[in-house]
């Protein structure tokens, strides 16, 4: 059995190497929700960083329409020490119109819960939200961003993780002037009569 598993792993390894590194990186970046560093990309495809850097440069040139290729509606951009796909700025209006037409009239329960986490814990990353809710929140976060209720605030320089905050639109929807007007959560909890002062790292009883 051990020999069979070793052979199977070797076959998979050879199959991966048979695919050009450019295509492997393109596939990984297509599903990545956070900017990916050259080191992490190299580890994912089993290639040295210089080779990954050259492949990224080729992809950027390809998507930008250099040397006669077709300029794509998206671009590969370096942000916070990592690489990620973004819609080209001159197509923002087209994407916004599509999102407006596709957005549902009401938020799901999952979206409402995620929105509450962002409102009380911002700035916060996807992984931190997922840790609090104990579920994958990638799709819900994309929905909230698309609806303009949360937005990207900054990218962590060390991890490349995007931090999200609520938008002015949310304040308008809630009919409040600032986040300070959000109600305290502690009175809603079974043991929250005395607030959260005893819980380390949770300021003002808001989260």
What ranges make up the beta strands (E) of the chain?
Answer: 74-79, 82-87, 124-125, 150-155, 162-166
**Which H or E run contains 9?**
helix 2-18
Q: What is the average pLDDT score of the chain?
A: 82
- CB 123 within 8 Å of CB 113: no
Strand-strand pairing, 150-155 and 162-166? antiparallel
Please state whether the predicted TM-score (pTM) of the whole model is above 0.85: no
Quick one: which of 123, 136, 113 has its CA closest to 185? Answer: 113
pLDDT tens per residue across span 77-106? 998 789 999 999 899 889 888 877 766 567
pLDDT tens per residue across span 3-54? 555 545 554 444 455 789 999 999 999 988 888 999 999 999 999 999 999 9
Alpha-carbon distance of 101 to 18, in angstroms, equals 42
């Amino acid at each position: 059995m051990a020999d069979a598993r070793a052979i199977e792993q070797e076959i998979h390894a050879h199959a991966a190497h048979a695919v050009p590194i450019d295509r492997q990186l393109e596939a990984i970046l297509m599903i990545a929700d956070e900017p990916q560093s050259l080191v992490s990309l190299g580890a994912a495809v089993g290639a040295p960083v210089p080779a990954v850097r050259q492949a990224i440069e080729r992809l950027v040139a390809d998507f930008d329409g250099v040397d006669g290729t077709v300029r794509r509606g998206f671009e590969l951009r370096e942000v916070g020490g990592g690489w990620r796909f973004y819609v080209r700025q001159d197509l923002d209006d087209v994407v916004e119109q599509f999102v407006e037409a596709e957005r549902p009239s009401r938020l799901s329960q999952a979206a409402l819960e995620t929105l509450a986490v962002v409102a009380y814990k911002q700035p916060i990353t996807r992984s931190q939200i997922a840790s609090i809710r104990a579920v994958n929140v990638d799709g819900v976060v994309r929905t909230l961003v698309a609806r303009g209720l949360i937005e990207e605030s900054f990218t962590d320089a060390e991890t490349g993780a995007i931090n999200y905050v609520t938008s002015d639109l949310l304040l308008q929807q809630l009919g409040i002037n600032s986040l300070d007007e959000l109600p305290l959560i502690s009175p809603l909890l079974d043991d929250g009569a005395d607030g959260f002062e005893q819980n380390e790292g949770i300021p003002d009883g808001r989260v």
